[in-house]
Amino acid sequence: MPVGYYRGTTPVQFREINWIRGALQTAIALEHATMPLYSAAMYSLEVQNYPSYNTIRSVLMEEMLHMAASCNILAALGGSPRIKDLNPGFPRAGLPGHVAPDLIGVLAPLSPAQMRNFMRIEAPLFMLTKRQADVPYATITQFYTAIKTAIVANAAAVRQAVLDGGPANQVGGNLGYRSIVPRRGVDPVDEILAAIDMIIEQGEGSGVAGIQAGEKFQNEGSHYARFAELYYGRRYLALDSPVALNRDNEQSYFCGELIAWPVVINTLAVPADGYTAVLTRDPESAVVSQELKAFDAAYTAMMVALDDAWNGPPELSWPSLGEAVIQMNEMRVLSCFNIMRYEVPEEVVAKLAEIYPSEYQMMATYTDLKKPVFYGPRFVNMATGSTS
């Protein structure tokens, strides 16, 4: 490998301020791509006050904070976060930015298999197999670390960019979101690095002390740890063990209080066509399509509102953020109380292998096809025709 090159990704000598801005846009897309996956699982819980519901919701809320932090950093550097045209497209392999390329990203109900996917998304490097780890960005942390390295290497340009400012707004500073504004005596580089550390530690843990975030974050369980608790059905306990937590002994660390597995609405894992082939065989397709589209419209409206919060007139930033929250609540209602009421006809479920020969295995893995099967949300951004 030539000196200065970074395992087939953008050579480090070209990672200047423009690259940092572009990589942050990818980070925004990456954070956003996790949320439909987590939301679809959360919506699938029949009763929404289970510990499992609260756990997924807590991770989802922090993913929103992470996305907001990345947006604010990009805005501080003079960029304009592009939100309304984000459209991850599911099912997909990996996350945006070629992160975790072995991941199967599929919109599906909560299940042990899906929890494994969620753990993969949030996994620290030391919990991966050699095959999983042997890519440039095996973890989200590795992607953010590349951004941190470039920020440090271009510190003077970063400081100047923050001073110069840009057209986009800082959003949510008084809600506790990380915002970056020039302040006397405060180095914006330190602030940006601290914001990225928050993202990293809340997701995967401190990287040096198991799967908890560091002291700055009250040693809270990382997203990985919280998902692993649901997977193993027990709370995490930091053992006083001479052997550090690893892939082989992981389960022994989950020996705390029992967590009951919730009752789940058995939604059909969403195929690439967004159920089009299923709907053509469903006598109730008109009304189901209407509900699916209503959800997609709310999702699209939320994305547009978020975009407006960052890129619209500053005085309308708060109302736009409020509109996004309204749409988030609407999405939950439309999914749980409308879409999931509709059962996929048994005769159609019986023919899924024939209808979706290349996706049937995926559907059978994430949905129990022996039980009644229901529709689930598709998360189609109607404002864009492409995926990102």
Partner 1 sequence: MTNIESIAVLGYEKVSEQDMITPLEIFKGAALVVSGQISPWQREVPPGKLDVKLVSDKPGVVTMQMGTQIVPDTSLDDEEIFDILYIPGGIGSGAIATDERILNVIRRHHESGKVIAANCSGVAIIARAGILDETPVTCVAAVARGLRAEGINVPTTRRMWVGRPEARIWTSTGSYGVHGGAVALITHYLGREIGTIVSMMFDTLGGIGDAIYDQAGPEFYQHIELETTFQDYFESMLLPQPVTNGIVTPVGVN
Positions that interact with partner 1 (CB under 8 A):
8-11, 13-19, 21-23, 25-26, 29, 77-80, 96-98, 136, 143, 146, 161, 164, 166, 388
**What angle, 0 to 180 degrees and rounded to 10, lies between the N-to-C axes of helices 155-164 and 17-43?**
80
Instruction: Kindly tell me which of 143 and 366 has the beta carbon lying closer to partner 1.
Output: 143
Distance of closest approach, residue 328 Cβ to partner 1, in angstroms: 24
CB atoms within 10 A of CB 35: 19
- The two three-digit tokens of residue 112, written as one number: 């042990």
Instruction: Kindly tell me which of 88 and 109 has the beta carbon lying closer to partner 1.
Output: 88
Distance of closest approach, residue 93 Cβ to partner 1, in angstroms: 14
- The two three-digit tokens of residue 68, written as one number: 């907001």
Q: Please answer whether residues 121 and 100 qualify as being in contact, where contact means their C-beta atoms are separated by less than 8 angstroms.
A: yes
Which amino acid is located at 97 in the chain?
G
User: Residue 313: is it exposed, middle or buried by C-beta count within 10 angstroms (0-12/13-18/19+)?
Assistant: exposed
Distance of closest approach, residue 78 Cβ to partner 1, in angstroms: 3
Distance CA 30, CA 273 (A): 22
- The two three-digit tokens of residue 83, written as one number: 């939100």
- φ and ψ at residue 208, rounded to 5 degrees: -120, -15
Secondary structure (DSSP) of 226-259: HHHHHHHTB-------SSPP-TTTGGGG--SSB-
Distance CA 193, CA 199 (A): 10
Instruction: Kindly tell me which of 79 and 221 has the beta carbon lying closer to partner 1.
Output: 79
Which amino acid is located at 78 in the chain?
G
Nearest to 121 by CA among 38, 20, 45: 38
Instruction: Kindly tell me which of 9 and 48 has the beta carbon lying closer to partner 1.
Output: 9
Distance of closest approach, residue 305 Cβ to partner 1, in angstroms: 22
Nearest to 366 by CA among 78, 14, 108: 108
Distance of closest approach, residue 172 Cβ to partner 1, in angstroms: 22
Distance of closest approach, residue 183 Cβ to partner 1, in angstroms: 21
Instruction: Kindly tell me which of 27 and 245 has the beta carbon lying closer to partner 1.
Output: 27
Distance of closest approach, residue 9 Cβ to partner 1, in angstroms: 5
Query: Which residue's entry shows tokens 């705390």?
Result: 256
Q: Please answer whether residues 92 and 269 qualify as being in contact, where contact means their C-beta atoms are separated by less than 8 angstroms.
A: no
Distance of closest approach, residue 19 Cβ to partner 1, in angstroms: 6
* Cβ neighbours for 175, distance < 8 A, ≥ 6 positions apart: none
Instruction: Kindly tell me which of 40 and 77 has the beta carbon lying closer to partner 1.
Output: 77
Instruction: Kindly tell me which of 132 and 388 has the beta carbon lying closer to partner 1.
Output: 388
Instruction: Kindly tell me which of 18 and 246 has the beta carbon lying closer to partner 1.
Output: 18
Distance of closest approach, residue 203 Cβ to partner 1, in angstroms: 18
Instruction: Kindly tell me which of 34 and 206 has the beta carbon lying closer to partner 1.
Output: 34
Distance CA 374, CA 371 (A): 10
Distance CA 241, CA 50 (A): 31
Instruction: Kindly tell me which of 155 and 364 has the beta carbon lying closer to partner 1.
Output: 155
Distance of closest approach, residue 140 Cβ to partner 1, in angstroms: 13
